[in-house]
Amino acid sequence: MSNETNLRNSRGEDEQNTTEERTDAPETTEEETAQPEEEEQSRKKKKRKGIHPFWKPTRILPIWLRLVLILAAAAAAAIAGAMIGYSIIGGGGNPGDVLNPDLWYHIYDIIFEGTDRDRG
């Protein structure tokens, strides 16, 4: 703020010429506004160029292999959880019994007994 504006404020006068002060400011053109963006982009490029090749991000495992590994880990976790839940938490006995289809048929029969989804 200028000294004149400070003087007006101290006297309690309203700023009547604020629009005039704003119009006196030089207008920015599209070129001037685009210039900082270009500088920022060039700075980012320089940063990328400055990365040592050792630290350059590379894909050790392809994306398809990552997906396969995630699905395999999820299946292993589900089987391990069923084994722990049946044998330790449920007190069902041998953890290998979880892999027996007869156990799952029995569980299915218990769940859907008396409904239209009954197996037998």
Which pTM does this prediction carry? 0.47
Residue 51 inside a domain? The answer is no
pLDDT at 102 over 80: yes
Residue 93 inside a domain? The answer is yes
Residue 38 inside a domain? The answer is no
Q: Give the pLDDT of residue 66.
A: 95
Q: Residue range 10-35: average pLDDT?
A: 54
Q: Residue range 88-113: average pLDDT?
A: 88
Q: What letters, b where the CB count within 10 A reaches 16 and e where it falls short, cover 37-49?
A: eeeeeeeeeeeee
Q: Give the pLDDT of residue 8.
A: 62
Residue 102 inside a domain? The answer is yes
Quote the mean pLDDT of the chain.
75
Number of domains in the chain: 1
Residue 32 inside a domain? The answer is no
**Containing domain of residue 102, as a range?**
63-111
**Which residues, 6 or more positions from 92, have their beta carbon under 8 angstroms from its beta carbon?**
86
Q: Give the pLDDT of residue 15.
A: 47
Residue 88 inside a domain? The answer is yes
Residue 36 inside a domain? The answer is no
Q: What is the pLDDT of residues 35-52, one digit of tens each?
A: 767 777 766 665 556 666
Residue 86 inside a domain? The answer is yes
DSSP string covering the chain: --HHHHHHHHHT-----HHHHHHHSPPPPHHHHHHHHHHHHHHHHHHHHTS-GGGS---SS-HHHHHHHHHHHHHHHHHHHHHHIIIIIS--S-GGGGG-HHHHHHHHHHHTTTSTT---
